[in-house]
Chains A and B, each alone.
Chain A
C-alpha cells in the first residue's frame, strides 16, 4: 500500500495504482476520454492532466503510478489550465454538430466541454473532415467527430481479441479504420458504441430514432444465453428503442454481446402475434381471448379425457421465464401429463434420475476469471458464450492455461495451451484419455472403465496442463455441444471425474437464459410423479395427440427439427403460446396465443451460476398480447387445476422458489452410476451442428440488423481439405446433403481446416438445414 494525497485528502491505495484509480476511490472525478478501466492505458487524450507536487509538468492521472507521499492537485491552476488547453485542442477540429449528432445528451465530450470548454473558439482555420467507414450493419460511423482516443481500437484488440480497427496515417490525418474492405465482425461490436466518448461510433439500428432524454429506462435481464447479462431496456411510447448494458461486474461486467444488445429489434418484428388466433375449418381467425382460452381448455380437456393425460406433451423454451415454466408444468401435470421438458436440443437423457442436483456452472461466473487451468469441452465458446470467452481471453493473458476439447477448431481468440479436435463420436473417448492421463500424472489408479483407453499426445498435453495448475484452481466446462451430444451423460461423468481428480471445479455452460431455471421450475419429466414422463426427444419421437408449445419454435429449437415438425403436424391439437407467428406454426397449430416477450412481462431467469434475477416489464404488451404467466394462470382456472390462485408473477415465483434467495439451492453436477459409453458408432459422415449465434432463439432470429451481420451468413457444408478432395468438390461448389431419409438439402461447400476427418459441419437452428433432422445424424454428401 502507498499513501498519497489528492486535493488535500489522504488515502491509501494498492501498490501500482494510478492516480485516476486513487481519485476514483475518493470520489474525485478527473476528466478523461481515452482512459477506460477495462482497457490498457493509452494516455493519449491528455484530458486527465493533473498537477503532481515536484513534477515539472502536469502528469496524466491515468498513467501516473501513485507513489508514497505523492501530492496530487486535480483542481489547481496548473491542472485546470492543462485540462482546458486539451479541451480547446479537442474541439478545434470537432464538428460541434451536436444538434444532429446521435450522441447528443449522452456525450462525454459534450458534458466535459460544458465544464472545460470556452463558449467561443479561437480557432478560425478550416476544420478537418474524415471519411466515414463501413463497419457493418450494427455500428454507424461519423469519423469527423472522432477524437482519436483509440478506445475502440483497444477494445477490439484486447477485449474482443482481434484487432479489427486501427489508426492509419499520422498526426491530423490520423483516422480510425477497419482493414480495407472489411467490417467489424466481432460478436461484441456493439460495445464500441458505448465506449466511444463522442458521436463517432453510434448504433446503426437506433440512430436518429430518439433522443436519450426521451427514453424511459428499465432494468432487465437478457433472455438469451445462460449468462443472464443485466440490461437497461429503453423505451419510448411503450416501444423498446434500445438496449444497453447494466454494469454488473459479477456477470457481464460492462459489456453486452451484439445478440443481447440488438435482439430488441425482433420485439418490433412484423411477425409479432398481436391477437389470439384459432384455426377453424383450416382457416385462421382472430378471436377474443375468452374464445381462444375456452377453445384451448376444451381441446386439452378432450384429449386428456379421450386419450389420457399422457397424450399431451409440453415443449417449453429454455428462454421462457421461471414463472411461465412453473405454471406450464403445473398445468400439464394437472391434466395428468408428465411429458414436459425445456431441454429441447438435448439428445442424451440417460442422466435423468441419476443426477445429484441441477446442472449448473459449478462456480460463480466471476470465479471463472480466477481459474488458472481451464478445459472447455464441446463448446462453440466464442459464439455460444461470448462474454465467458471474453473472461477466459483475459485470464489467458494473465497466465491461465486454457485448453479445448471439441469437434471444431474455430478461433476462440484465446491463447490456447493445448487442444484436441476430434469427430463428435470420438469426444467421449478423448475425454476418457484426458481423465486417464490426469489420473496417471496424479499417481492415482484409473478405474476399470478406463482400462482399454490409450492416451493420445493431445490428451496428454491437456492433462499435463491441467495437472500443472494450483490446487483447486482448475475448471472443466462443458459447452452446448457437449450437452447436446448423444453421449452427454458420459461426458458429464468423465468431466466430473476429471474435476474430482484435480480437486477443481466442474460445470455446464448454460445454453439458455433459464437452463438452470427450467430444472428449478420442475419443467422436466419424472420429477413429481415418479419416472413416468417423456422427455423432449421422446415426446417427439413418439408423437402425442396434443402439444402445448411455450415460446419455442420446435422445428428450429429442437435437436431434431424435422421430427418435431412431423410430430406437431400429426397432432390433433397444438396450442402455441408465443410472441411470434411463423408459417410453420400456422401450419401445425390449432391455436396461437400471443404472449409477451421478456420485455413485456415480469419474470425471473435463473442464470447458469444459479443466480435468481427477476425483472419487471419494460413496456406494455403489444396489441392484445398478454404475459404468459397470466394466460397460463387463467387456463389453470378454466381447466379446474388446483393451486392456480396467483395474483402476481411474484406469487408464482414464491411458490416455485420458496423464499427467494439470491442463488438457488440444489445445484450439483454430480451423477450416479452412469455406464460410460465410449463406443464410437458411425456410419457415413458425422455431422457437427452448431447453433449460430443469431439463430439460437425466436427473438434473435427476427432482429433484422443482426440478421445482416457476418455471423448470420447462410449455413454451408464445411469440410476439411481431405473430405473435399474425396468428394471431388471445390470450396464454393454446391453439394447435396442427406441424412438417411428422403429429404436432402443443397448447400455450398466450404473449406474449414478445423473440421476433423470424416466430419461435415452444418449449422442447425436454420430453416435451410431443418430438413436434415437430428443435429447428430450421420450424413451423406454428394456433388450436385
Chain B
C-alpha cells in the first residue's frame, strides 16, 4: 500500500491511488505545475522565489538539514552556466522515502527542480537515482518525457524566456555517491569520491560550474511551499523546522512504511501511526535519522518530538528521517556489527582515517560479537572513533563512528557482558523470535 497514515499530508497527497496516480494528468489534476505556471506568468523574480523558500525554513531533507533557501542564495548570479542536481542516491540504511516519492509522485520533484532552476538561473539539471531501484529510474524517465511533451521542460518553458532541461542519471550502487560531491564526480563519469571542500558546489560543482544540489524530498516540497506560501508551510511545523517530513519507519513495528507528519510531531505519535511495537514487545532503542545517526535508548526517544532541534538536543540527528525501531529482542552488539560492516564496505577509501579506521572498527566489533572481545576493546573503539571523526574529507568517517560511540555509550553493559561471558545478553532464541524471520524452536536454542 502506498500510503498508510499521515498528518497534514503535502508530499504524499498524490500517493493515495498507489501506482495509478503518478502520471502528469493526475499531478495536474491535483494542482500540479500550477506554481510553475504562476511563477512564470507573474514573472516572479529569482530573489522572490528564494525569499519564499527561506521563509518556509525548509531544511535539507537528505540528512544534513541545511536551510534550502540559504543554499540557493549562495549561487553566483552572474555565472553563465549553472546546474541543479537532485540527490536520489538514497543509500542511507533505513531510508526509503525518495524511492516512493519518485514512484508515486515524480512530477512534484520535477516541478520543484524546475522552480529551483528558475530561482538559481540554471539551464540544466540532473537527477541522480541510485542503481538498485532501476524501475524507479525508468518511471522518472517516463515522467520526464511527459513533462517535456507538455512543455514544462525544454526551450522557453510555457512561452516564457526561461529554458531548462532535466535528465535522469542512475548510479551503480555506492553509498558514497550519496555524498553530494561524490555524486557530482559520479555524474561526471569518475569514481565516486567526495571532493575536498571548499570550494562548495555552489561555486565549483558539476563540471566545475556553480551547482545547487538538494535531496529529492527537498525539491518535492517546493511546489507546496510556493502554493501555500513560505509562512504557512513553516507554521505547519515549528520554528526553524518548517513543514512536514517523511519518516521511513522500519524495524519492530507493526506497520513499517513512510509516514508524512508535521515537524515537531511526538515520536510516540509516529510510533502509534506505525501500529505500535510488533508483538507488543518493549521498545529498546531507536535510530532516528538513518544508520549513521547515533542510537537513542527508549526512554530518551519517547520524550522527543520529530524535528531537527529536538532530536539534536537528545544527542542524535534527524538525518534523512529513517526511523529504525528496535525492540528488546535485539542484541545491540550484533546490530552494531551489521552497521559497522556497512561502513567498512562503503568507505570510499581515499582518506586514511576512514579507509583504515572503518575496517578496524568492524573487526573489533565482530570479534566482540563472536566471543573474542577483550576488556580493553571498548576503550580502543572509542579511541579509534576519536581519531576518525572530523579528520576526513567527507562525513562518512563520522557516520561510521557515531553508531559505535552511541551504542557503547547507551548499551555499555551489553558489550561488557559480551566481552566477559563470550556470549550475548539477549538469548539467541529470543533474538531469532524477534527478528520475525525465524520461528523460535527449542532445538535452535539448544544448539
Residues of A within 8 A of B (CB): 41-47, 49, 56-58, 60, 63, 65, 82, 85-86, 88-90, 92-93, 122-123, 125-126, 128, 147-148, 150, 166-167, 169-174
Contact = CB atoms under 8 A, between A and B. Distances in A.
A128 B347 CA distance: 15
Contacts of B351: 44-46
B355 A171 contact: yes
B346 A60 contact: no
29 contacts: A41-B196, A42-B350, A46-B351, A46-B352, A46-B353, A46-B392, A58-B390, A82-B391, A85-B353, A85-B386, A89-B355, A90-B356, A92-B356, A92-B360, A125-B360, A125-B364, A147-B352, A148-B352, A167-B349, A169-B349, A170-B345, A170-B348, A171-B344, A171-B346, A171-B358, A172-B344, A172-B355, A172-B356, A174-B355
A45 B367 CA distance: 28
B196 A57 contact: no
Nearest to B400: A171
Nearest to A92: B356
B36 to A, nearest CB: 39
Contact of A170 (B198, B346, B383): B346
A528 B351 CA distance: 66
Contacts of A166: 191
Interface in B274-315: none
Contacts of A172: 344, 347, 349, 355-356, 358-359
Given A60-B196, A92-B356, A125-B364, A86 B349 contact: no
B147 interface: no
A174 B349 contact: yes
Interface in B384-440: 386-387, 390-393
Contact of A89 (B174, B348, B356, B363): B356
B262 to A, nearest CB: 32
Contact of A86 (B344, B352, B367): B352
Contacts of A169: 349
B314 to A, nearest CB: 21
B270 to A, nearest CB: 32
Contacts of A123: 360
A92 B344 CA distance: 15
Contacts of A171: 344-349, 354-355, 358-359
A45 B357 CA distance: 13
A170 B344 CA distance: 9
A166 B190 CA distance: 11
B176 interface: yes
Contacts of A65: 198
B348 A49 contact: no
Contact of B196 (A43, A45, A88): A43
Contacts of B393: 43-44
A35 to B, nearest CB: 12
The DSSP consensus for interface residues of chain B is helix
A148 B355 contact: yes
Contacts of A125: 359-360, 363-364, 367
Name A's interface SS. Answer: loop
Contacts of B375: none
Contacts of B367: 125
A415 to B, nearest CB: 16
Contacts of B7: none
Contacts of B358: 171-172
A86 B355 contact: no
A63 B196 contact: yes
A148 B390 contact: no
B380 interface: yes
Most buried by A among B176, B198, B346, B348: B348
B387 A88 contact: yes
B89 to A, nearest CB: 15
A198 to B, nearest CB: 12
A86 B351 CA distance: 10
B391 A167 contact: no
B348 A56 contact: no
B391 A49 contact: yes
B352 A45 contact: yes
Contacts of A89: 352-353, 355-357, 360, 387
A148 B191 contact: no
Nearest to B345: A171
B387 A85 contact: yes
B357 to A, nearest CB: 6
B405 to A, nearest CB: 16
B361 to A, nearest CB: 10
Considering the complex of A and B, which 9 residue pairs feature the smallest CB-CB distances, nearest first?
A: A174-B349, A85-B387, A171-B347, A57-B390, A89-B356, A125-B363, A44-B350, A172-B359, A43-B196
A44 B364 CA distance: 24
A56 B345 CA distance: 28
A45 B345 CA distance: 19
A167 B393 CA distance: 17
Given A86-B353, A93-B356, A170 B347 contact: yes
B350 A148 contact: yes
A58 B391 contact: yes
Interface in B325-347: 344-347
Contacts of B383: 122
Contacts of B356: 89-90, 92-93, 172
A89 to B, nearest CB: 4
Given A41-B196, A170-B345, A57 B355 contact: no
B394 to A, nearest CB: 11
Nearest to A33: B352
Contacts of B344: 171-172
Contacts of A60: 196
B19 to A, nearest CB: 34
A88 B384 CA distance: 10
B191 A167 contact: yes
A42 to B, nearest CB: 7
A85 B352 CA distance: 10
A143 to B, nearest CB: 14
Contacts of A93: 356, 359
A244 B81 CA distance: 46
Nearest to A125: B363
Nearest to A58: B391
Contacts of A82: 387, 391
B376 to A, nearest CB: 9
B177 to A, nearest CB: 11
B58 to A, nearest CB: 25
Contacts of A63: 196
B41 to A, nearest CB: 44
Name the residue among B174, B359, B364 with the largest chain A CB count within 10 angstroms.
B359
Given A147-B352, A167-B191, 19 more contacts: A41-B196, A44-B393, A45-B352, A46-B351, A46-B352, A46-B353, A90-B356, A93-B359, A122-B380, A123-B360, A125-B359, A125-B363, A126-B363, A148-B352, A170-B176, A170-B345, A171-B348, A172-B359, A173-B349
B359 A44 contact: no
A147 B350 CA distance: 10
Contacts of B196: 41-43, 60, 63
Contacts of B346: 170-171
Contacts of B176: 170
B443 to A, nearest CB: 34
B144 to A, nearest CB: 30
Max count, chain A CB within 10 A of own CB: residue among B198, B344, B349, B354: B349
A128 B386 CA distance: 23
A71 B395 CA distance: 25
Contacts of B364: 125
A469 to B, nearest CB: 24
Nearest to A55: B390
B122 to A, nearest CB: 26
A92 to B, nearest CB: 5
Nearest to B357: A89
Nearest to A93: B356
Nearest to B348: A170
B366 to A, nearest CB: 9
Contacts of A57: 390-391
